[in-house]
Amino acid sequence: MDFFLQLLVSGIVVGSIYALVALGFVLIYKATGVINFAQGEFLMVGAYVCLALVSQLHIPFWIAFFLTMAVTVVLGMIIERLALRPMIGEPIISIIMLTIGLSSVLKCAVLLVWGPNNRVYPQIFSQVPINLGPIVISQVYIWSVGFAFLFLALFTLFFRYSSYGIAMRAVANDQQAALSMGISVKKIFALAWCIAFLVAGVGGVFLGNINVVNVSLGFFGLKVFPAVILGGLDSIPGAIVGGLIIGILEAMTGGYIDPLVGGGTKEVLPFVVLVIILMVKPYGFFGTEEIEKV
């Protein structure tokens, strides 16, 4: 039972970061109709930027954290302007390939600047673990879950109440109608990419604190696909629920099944789930079903 709870906790931690990355993913899909294959690289860039600020420029972590957020927002804006805006109206495959190309470029930039070696954050969170009944949780886990949920809550409120959030939902719903109501769709597209880069960057900072920082952090982006498909590609609550479920599922298979078959199941099971969902319920738990009319 203790083992189970321990797995559950680490599943929730990883799942909450999945949820953060998935949030950015869903946001881009909702507002601009683009599937972003570079989401994992956004996370990687966030982790590296914060690490560089902390360990190379010796800026205190919390200041570096907010600086990272600023940097990611600017990067999101640049990427949207240079790469994504010329692609409006192009076929899906072109846009998919464009984001794949983008991920290669980001990976290359990180390799050129920071090299291929593993890096670790200096110790930021106290290493004294906290005992919660039978389970032991390290402090960095609590911080990352806390921040993940803080951001998820903030953005939920943002979409519900702020005028920009409402404008974004309007664009997602119907671009033409939004345009005629005086909403600048271009600005909303840029905003979507900024927020997506920001949340992925925050996820990256915490994931970097939990694990080592290297280029393979980018693969995290691919694992978000099962989460968003499970929750529904265009649903923000779906991203949160899907992220948590996939995180827990991964931790459980990692704990119980991997020792039996010798590893690797943890990585592939979410994709098996994905295929099953696509076969049974293609629009996920909360996604809106597209109805095509001739």
Binding mask 111-130 for another protein (x = CB under 8 A): xx--xx--------------
Q: What is the crossing angle of helices 2-32 and 39-51, to 10°?
A: 110
Strand partners, 130: 137
What is the helix (H) or strand (E) element at residue 78, kind and residue range?
Answer: helix 61-79
The count of chain residues that interact with another protein, using the rule CB under 8 A, is 45
Binding segment for another protein (CB under 8 A), chosen from 6-14, 148-156, 193-201, 277-285, is: 277-285
Does the footprint of another protein cover residue 137 (CB under 8 A)? Answer: no
Given the complex with another protein, which of 69 and 224 has the nearer CB atom? 224
| 108 vs 157 by CB, closer to another protein | 108
Nearer to another protein, 96 or 142 (CB): 96
Taking a C-beta distance cutoff of 8 angstroms, is the pair 165, 159 a contact? yes
What are 169's two structure tokens? 């939902």
- Minimum distance of another protein from residue 195's CB (angstroms): 20
275 binds another protein (CB under 8 A): yes
Closest CA to 121 of 204, 194, 189: 204
Residue 271 binds another protein, judged by CB under 8 A: yes
3 state DSSP class of 38: coil
Q: Which of 17, 5, 8 is nearest to 239 (CA)?
A: 17
Contact, 238 vs 230, CB < 8 A? yes
Residues 53-112 that bind another protein (CB under 8 A): 83, 86-87, 90, 92-94, 96-98, 100-109, 111-112
Count Cβ atoms within 10 A of the Cβ of residue 60 and give its class: 0-12 exposed, 13-18 middle, 19 or more buried: exposed
Q: Which is nearer to another protein, 24 or 226 (CB)?
A: 226
Contact 17, 146 (CB under 8 A): no
Among 225, 241, 244, 249, binds another protein (CB under 8 A): 225
Q: Which contacts qualify for 179-186: CB closer than 8 Å, 24 or more apart?
A: 186/85
What distance, in Å, lies between the first and last C-alpha atoms of the chain? Answer: 55
Residue 181 within binding range of another protein, rule CB under 8 A: no
Least separation, in Å, of the C-beta of 86 and another protein? 5
Closer to another protein by Cβ: residue 106 or 236:
106
- Output the smallest distance, CB 81 to another protein, in A: 12
CB of 293 to another protein, least distance (A): 9
User: How many other β-carbons are positioned within 10 Å of the β-carbon of residue 1?
Assistant: 7
For residues 23-42, which are near another protein according to CB under 8 A?
35
- Minimum distance from CB of 28 to another protein (Å)? 12
Between 28 and 51, name the residue whose CB sits nearer to another protein. Answer: 28
Interhelix angle 139-161/2-32, rounded to 10 degrees, is 30
- Binding residues for another protein, rule: CB under 8 A, are 35, 83, 86-87, 90, 92-94, 96-98, 100-109, 111-112, 115-116, 222, 225-226, 229, 233, 261-262, 264-265, 267-268, 271-272, 274-275, 278-279, 282, 292, 294
